[in-house]
Each structure stands twice: as structure tokens, then as C-alpha cells.
Structure 1
Amino acid sequence: MGDNQNLLAEQRRALILDEVRRRGGVRVNELTRRLMVSDMTVRRDLDALARQGALEKVHGGAVPVAEASTHEPGFEVKSSLELTAKEEIARAAAAMAVPGSAIALSGGTTTFALARHLLDVPDLTVVTNSVRVADVFHSAQRAAGDARTIRPGAATVVLTGGVRTPSDSLVGPVADAAIRSLHFDVLFLGVHGISVEAGLSTPNLAEAETNRRFVGAARRVVVVADHTKWGTVGLSSFAALEQVDTLVTDGGLSGAARAEINEQLPGLIVAGDTADGSAEASAGAGEDAAAEEPAASD
């Protein structure tokens, strides 16, 4: 891990989690040496991560949480993980949004981060089943002045309605019916898991059906997912990898995973990583999107 004496708590904990996942467990004395912090600091970090459900403390260290395929963490737990990666992914994905286009954002903490970066893209029509995502746009409108007056260029936001999940997504028949008659230029999709065998998956059966509707209504599907989602499989698959146009992820993705994804998907963007030409891939994706005409309004 190198000399991380001056790391912030968030960065330290991200490194600890990465080590736990990579090695299948860590000991406190190993972390104190690698992070160059006190035993007490490491134990506080492990306590905080355990409270979030990100790992399990054991005598002398920590191990990964053994999650069932039906386990769905709450929004607050997920939002505290991989913060830097999610911001990098959100910034790269936002460059793919074309002014005046119709886009969809699914629920999730990465799409929540993306929504904040989309506030400066003019004249978007945004359909979402995420209460949190919708609130990003509505809060920006309120902050701009009179909530009854729509500022020029502000996004038009449609919230689907439906039954709320632990991750604050709206799912079920109401959400499905709202999406059924719509057409999107681009769908930005957050996922619980992504793999070659299972494709895109989620622990929530109703959310799987709603996401399936989103995928079917989009001309282009962009998955936004940090590297920890690769190889994770939830209870219900809702799309095959061949239905995905682009995956936007972060530099924590292993070389083997990148090679496997490049064989399966037309586009892979590794946010914040220019060593493998990802910056060029990102620019090309944006140009391709800009060349497309926005979908006609219904």
C-alpha cells in the first residue's frame, strides 16, 4: 500500500476494504505497518466499516462479509463505499450526456453521484426511479430561486412512482407501467453485480423487472459500476452483457477483468485511468453520443 501516513479516513478505509477483498482478510498489525498509523486508528476504521456492513471484524483483524445473493444493503451503507471511484465514474459518464437528449437514470449511489454532474448539462429530459436522484435536480432548482419558475436549461425530471426498495429505488407495476411507453437516448444504469455468466443482476426481484424495462426502452445502455461490482452476482439477472453498450468503471478493475470485459462489450471506460487509452475511449464515446439525434418526445 505504500506510505499512507497522511491519508484521510475515507481513503484509509477504502484501502483497507480493498485489501480485505483481495486477500480474503487482514490482521490489525499488518494494517498498522502498511498504513503507518496507530493500532487504535486501524481499530476505529475497522469498527466504522463493520457498522456499515462492509466487512466483519474477527479476533485480531477483519474478513469480508459473506453476503447472500438476496442481500441488499441500504442506500446509506452503499453511499459510504468507494466514494472516490464513484466520483470519477460519475464525471466520466456525465461527459456522455448530450444537451437536449432524453436520458434515464436508474437507482443507486453511483447514479446519484452522476446526477450531480449532470446539473450543468442543459435541456435534459431525465426519467428516474430514484427518489435520491430526483431530489438532486429538484434541490438544484430550489437553490436557483423561485421553485415555481423553471430556470432556462434546467432538466425536466420525471419520477416514475412505485414501491420503495432499501436502496431508495421505486419499483413494481407502477414504475414498470411508467417506463413501458417511453424511449430514451441513453440509460445510465447502476447495478448490484455484473459478470460474464449472470450479466447484470440485483438481489431484488421487483427491481430486476423495472431495470429490464429500462434496458428495453433505451437506444444505448451505459452501466456505471465501480470495480467491486465485477464478479458479483445477485439473485435475479435482468440483462445480458451483450445488451450493454458501455461500462464506465474505475482503475481498481484488474487487468484480467479488463481483458474479459473488452471481449464482451463494445465500450469500456476506466475513469481516471489514461494509461490504457481510456481517456480516448471516453472522448470517442461522447462524440458518438453527440452524433446521435435525440429521441423524439412522445
Structure 2
Amino acid sequence: MLARQRQELILDEIRRTGAVQVHALVTRLGVSDMTVRRDLDVLAKRGLLEKVHGGATSVVGRSTDEPGFEAKSVRALPEKEAVSARAAGLIRPGTAIGISAGTTTWTFARFLADVPDLTVVTNSIPVADVLRQDGRPDRTVVLTGGVRTPSDALVGPVAVQALRSLHLDVVFLGVHGMSERAGFTTPNLDECETDRALVEAGGRLVVLADHTKWGVIGISTIADLAEADVLVTDDGIAPEAHQVLAEQVGELVIASVPSPAAAGGEG
């Protein structure tokens, strides 16, 4: 099993139970005590957990917590890729789309290389970079101005003003969290205002959110669940969440996450 796969399993267990013990992980993962502790060190340095004697616990979450782009980019990567692949299939050539900032939408942008004749508006520097690297002559990429956030989003009055003058066919929105009560949320107030302007510019709203986003609540609501025309998530979504989302969003699309490929060594 690769180091990334082990670390994803460790994070999933912490999200599920709130804590993990080294000896239990040794048994479950079939690796040495030293390998588990090394994985915990890596995850702790990225701010994804807190090490304690004999194991680790979840980072105490607050509604204003906003990890940096690098820390978020390693979370639930197989799920993000599965969600992104399904969402890319919803795009029709020749349309104008909006893509919000975030690591899920950054992953999504990498799946658009083969979609012809697109106009893309984004407030994400990494998303714009990915699309520029494609080098397609039939693609127009518009990057809004604004103030840069920890998640590499451009936000604030400049971004909002630019977005309010546009009319897009579809907006693809990444979110910090989603819940029945709070809807789709972000921990950054300025980013929320910008995301709302992006949502309002679109004829349809497609939200990209893997199963780990369920139950996470940021300080500000971007949109209610019912405002999503489509929500693309993965097959790790809990049954109770699946039921709520199926009742609230226009269409619930479930992406299948491939089983991790077997790999030798402890990484």
C-alpha cells in the first residue's frame, strides 16, 4: 500500500471516530510502528491532525478554519478525481462556464483538456494555470482580479464586480462543507461573497463535493442545498446524507471511486 493510500485511510478513520491509536493502525495497515508514526508526522505537519501520546486526534474545527491550498490538496484525492471525472462529462462544447476556487475545482480543471471551445471564468489562480497549460487555441480563460486568500482564491469587491457583469451557462462550485441546516458553506467571508456572485452569474449550478464535506460547516453560507441543480459526490457518502441530498438538490450524481491499486512496500 502506498504512503498516500495509508494516509487517506488514517484521515478517514480520524474523521469517523475523532482519534486513532498507533497500535491499532499497525494492525489494520499491516505496516511497522515506525511507518505509522512517520505517516502521522507527515499529516501533522500538513495540519490535518494533532499528534498525541500513542496516536493522533482530529484538529479541533472552527467555522473560520481555512487550511492552505497545499494542505487541502492531499485530502480525499481519489474521491476528488472521481467526482471531477463525472462532472467533466456534464460540460457541452462551446459553452461559457464558471469555476470557483478550491482544490476540488483545481482537480476538476485537469479533466477539461479534451473539451473543445470553452470560455472559462474563474477566481482561482491554480485553476487558471491548469487551463493555460492545456494550450488549447479554442479556449478563453478569464481570471478575475481580487485579494488572494489562503486557498488561492481571488476575492473582494474587484472580483465581485467583475462577476456581476457576466452571464455564464453553468457554474461549477467547490465548497468547504455542506449540511442540511447550513447548506453549502465556506470559512472565508470575503470568499463567500465572491462565490455568491459567481453562482448568480450562472444559469445552472453544479456543486462538486466529496463525501468528507458532509457535516462540515463554515462560517458563511454560499447557497442552500436546494439551489444546486446538480451535486456530484462520491460513493462514500453516508446513507443518511444521501437521503437528505437526494431530497434537496435537483439531481444527485454519485461517482464511483476505484479501489486502490495494490502496491508493495511500506513507502
TM-score > 0.5 by shorter chain = yes
Q: Does 1:182 align with 2:166?
A: yes
Deviations 1:95-116 (A, max 9, x none): 0011001100000001001111
Matching of residues 1-298 of structure 1 within 5 Å? 7-141=1-135, 151=137, 154-272=138-256
Contact 1:111 1:224 in 2 (8 A): yes
Deviation of the 1:34 alpha carbon: 0.6
CA–CA distance in structure 1, aligned partners of residues 222 and 99 of structure 2:
16
CA–CA distance in structure 1, aligned partners of residues 234 and 42 of structure 2:
24
The two structures have a TM-score, normalised by structure 1, of: 0.84
CA–CA distance in structure 2, aligned partners of residues 242 and 63 of structure 1:
34
Amino acid across the alignment from 2:42: A
Identity, % of aligned pairs? 59
Say which SS state the counterpart of residue 41 (structure 2) adopts.
helix
Contact 1:192 1:232 in 2 (8 A): yes
Contact 2:178 2:214 in 1 (8 A): yes
Contact 1:119 1:155 in 2 (8 A): no
CA–CA distance in structure 2, aligned partners of residues 46 and 252 of structure 1:
23
Deviations 1:59-78 (A, max 9, x none): 00111111211111100110
Deviation of the 1:140 alpha carbon: 2.1
Amino acid across the alignment from 1:166: P
Say which SS state the counterpart of residue 37 (structure 2) adopts.
helix
CA–CA distance in structure 1, aligned partners of residues 177 and 131 of structure 2:
27
Say which SS state the counterpart of residue 194 (structure 1) adopts.
strand
Contact 2:211 2:233 in 1 (8 A): yes
The two structures have a TM-score, normalised by structure 2, of: 0.94
4+ aligned runs moved over 4 Å, structure 1? none
Deviations 1:209-241 (A, max 9, x none): 001111111111111111111111111112111
Give ranges in structure 1 of 5+ residues lacking alignment. Answer: 1-6, 142-149, 275-298
